């Protein structure tokens, strides 16, 4: 154990003292904060191009439904043919030609736009939204309903949905699936990213030492298994330290810029955008309906954080042992492609299953894939925020831990042979032979 701790210390200090580690650790939160602020500013960047759309109306209601606004002008043409308009399209500086079809009951109304370039999506949505309401109202008028306008205004209703869950004592707590889905998504993505990033770091470290022949000197003093375990745990400790620093710095930066984003120019620019404004209003309704602050306050984050640390740790150790085996079997990163595929496929499948898990956390597929050790780190973290039985978490962790020990044993057999193998690109079949070697 003493030798393993020495290797862990060496791996940890070697990486922590690197300038690249310090720079990435400090700049990554700033980079994400810059992306956040930039996205808010981009939301408010408006299109300054004047758009004139020629409308050929076969429905008879487009002129009342489509109202000109800033930078968007509708011109209604009596022509029924596109040919004459097409010839003078550029001379009249038109943006597009809109043809509105006839209104018939039980049949969709066609909207056709013609232009020399792809029309703006916001313009399309604006036209579709305005005409949809007008066409529905026009169809209702054919039923000769007395006081139709008053009826339509009266029946328009906003639904405010509130959800509550009962705990074992029968006490009710406000809940919100959107918040739980957000937490699940973030935690699962973090596990996936860190497993892939730091697992690959272990592989590259072994390849570098193998290429420089330093490993031949190190292995004369320690067993290959001890060297592999020391590297895996050493890199894991670096990853945990970096993650903790990122979390702390991200929280500090977020709190610092929160006022600027919420009440400054960026926030005003966001609200000025009609599409964003509509989305924010809908979000506000959902927030009020379930009282998001109350929901967040009711969440017990301690078991979620503890579960995240355990699933991250054992998930990383499981995959890092496979990455270490691959690194010991090859001489450069170019040779890892065919061997990486069997390792990366379960990770990608776990990421895809994560989406299903936070949509249907109690389904049979979510349950069984949260027990499979190769997908459980992502899938289980997608389920935990929704509240699942403790025995499922313990069972999943137990299976993950036992599988990790088994894979470390198998990877150690590959490692002890492959670390000293040069001049040959091994296949999966040959690596299986290495596992079966007795000595």
Taking a C-beta distance cutoff of 8 angstroms, is the pair 439, 350 a contact? no
Chain-centre distance for alpha carbon 266: 24
Domain 51-155 grouped into CATH 3.40.190.10: yes
Q: Which of 427, 423, 402 is nearest to 341 (CA)?
A: 427
pLDDT of residue 190: 82
- pLDDT at 292 (0 to 100): 58
Query: Tell me, what's the pLDDT at 276?
Result: 44
Query: Which residue has tokens 């930039």?
Result: 38
Residue ranges in the chain modelled with pLDDT below 70: 36-37, 39-48, 79-81, 105-106, 157-177, 211-220, 224, 254, 257-300, 333-335, 420-428, 436-439
- Cross-strand partners of 74: 53
Instruction: Give whole-number Cα distances, 381 to 94, 174, 233, 368, in Å.
Output: 53, 21, 22, 14
Output the pLDDT for position 109.
75
Distance of alpha carbon 376 from alpha carbon 401, whole angstroms: 11
According to DSSP, the β-strands at 163-166 and 96-100 are unpaired
Do residues 312 and 414 make contact, with C-beta atoms less than 8 angstroms apart?
no
Read off the pTM.
0.63
Q: What is the pLDDT of residues 259-291, one digit of tens each?
A: 555 544 444 444 444 444 454 455 445 444 445
* 312, two tokens: 């991250």
pLDDT digit string (tens) for 225-239? 777 778 788 877 887
Give the model's pLDDT for residue 422: 65
Does the CA dihedral 237-239-245-248 come out positive or negative?
negative
**Three-state helix/strand/coil letters over the chain:** CHHHHHHHHHHHHHHHCCHHHHHHHHHHHHHHHHHHHHHHHHHHCCCCCCEEEEEEECCCCHHHHCCCECCEEEEEECCCCHHHHHHCCCCCCCCEEEEECCCCCCCCCCEEEECCCCCCHHHHHHHHHHHHHHHHHHHHHCCCCCCHHHHHHHHCCCCCCCEEEECCCCCEEEECHHHHHHHHHHHHHHHHHHHHHHHHHHHHHHHHHHHCCHHHHHCCCCCHHHHHHHHHHHHHHHHHHHHHHHHHHHHHHHHHHHHHHHHCHHHHHHHHCHHHHHHHHHHHHHHHHHCHHHHHHHCCHHHHHHHHHHHHHHHHHHHHHHHHHHHHHCCCHHHHHHHHHHHHHHHHHHHHHHHHHHHCCCCHHHHHHCCCCCCHHHHHHHHHHHCCCHHHHHHHHHHHHHHHHHHHHHHHHHHHHHCCCCCCCCCHHHHHHHHHCCC
CATH 3.40.190.10 intervals, the chain:
51-155
pLDDT of residue 395: 93
- Identify the bridge partners of residue 56 per DSSP, sorted by sequence position: 77, 99
pLDDT at 398: 93
Task: Give the strand order in the sheet containing 72-77.
Answer: 72-77, 51-57, 96-100, 111-114
> What is the predicted pLDDT for the residue at 162?
62
């Amino acid at each position: 154990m003493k030798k393993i701790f020495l290797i862990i210390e060496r791996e940890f200090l070697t990486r922590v003292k690197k300038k690249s580690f310090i720079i990435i650790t400090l700049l990554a939160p700033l980079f994400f904060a810059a992306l956040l602020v930039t996205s808010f500013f981009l939301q408010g960047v408006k299109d300054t191009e004047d758009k004139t759309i020629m409308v050929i109306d076969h429905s008879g209601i487009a002129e009342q439904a489509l109202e000109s606004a800033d930078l968007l002008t509708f011109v209604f043409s009596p022509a029924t043919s596109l040919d004459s308009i097409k010839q003078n399209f550029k001379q009249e500086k038109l943006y597009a030609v809109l043809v509105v079809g006839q209104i018939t009951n039980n049949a969709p109304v066609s909207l056709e736009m013609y232009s020399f370039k792809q029309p703006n999506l916001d313009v399309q949505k604006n036209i579709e939204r305005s005409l949809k309401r007008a066409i529905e109202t026009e169809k209702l008028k054919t039923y000769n309903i007395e006081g139709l306008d008053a009826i339509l205004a009266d029946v328009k209703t906003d639904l405010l949905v509130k959800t509550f869950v009962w705990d074992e004592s029968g006490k009710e707590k406000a809940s919100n699936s959107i918040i739980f889905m957000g937490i699940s998504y973030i935690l699962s993505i973090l596990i996936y990213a860190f497993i892939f990033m730091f697992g690959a770091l272990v592989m590259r470290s072994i390849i570098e030492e193998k290429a420089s022949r330093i490993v031949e000197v190190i292995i004369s003093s320690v067993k290959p298994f001890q060297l592999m375990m020391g590297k895996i745990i050493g890199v894991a400790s670096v990853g945990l330290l970096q993650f903790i620093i990122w979390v702390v710095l991200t929280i500090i930066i977020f709190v610092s810029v929160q006022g600027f984003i919420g009440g400054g120019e960026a926030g005003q620019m966001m609200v000025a955008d009609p599409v964003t404004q509509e989305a924010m209003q809908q979000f506000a309704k959902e927030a009020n309906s379930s009282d998001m602050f109350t929901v967040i306050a009711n969440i017990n984050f301690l078991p979620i954080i503890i579960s995240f640390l355990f699933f991250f740790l054992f998930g990383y150790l499981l995959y890092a042992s496979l990455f270490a085996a691959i690194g010991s079997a090859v001489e450069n990163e170019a040779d890892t492609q065919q061997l990486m595929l069997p390792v990366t496929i379960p990770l990608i499948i776990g990421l895809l299953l994560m989406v299903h898990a936070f949509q249907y956390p109690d389904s049979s597929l979510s349950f069984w894939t949260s027990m499979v050790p190769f997908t459980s780190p992502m899938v289980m973290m997608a389920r935990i925020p929704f509240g699942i039985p403790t025995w499922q978490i313990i069972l999943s962790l137990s299976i993950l831990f036992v599988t990790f020990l088994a894979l470390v044993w198998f990877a150690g057999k590959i490692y002890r042979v492959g670390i000293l193998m040069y001049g040959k690109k091994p296949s999966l079949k040959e690596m299986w032979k290495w596992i079966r070697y007795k000595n």
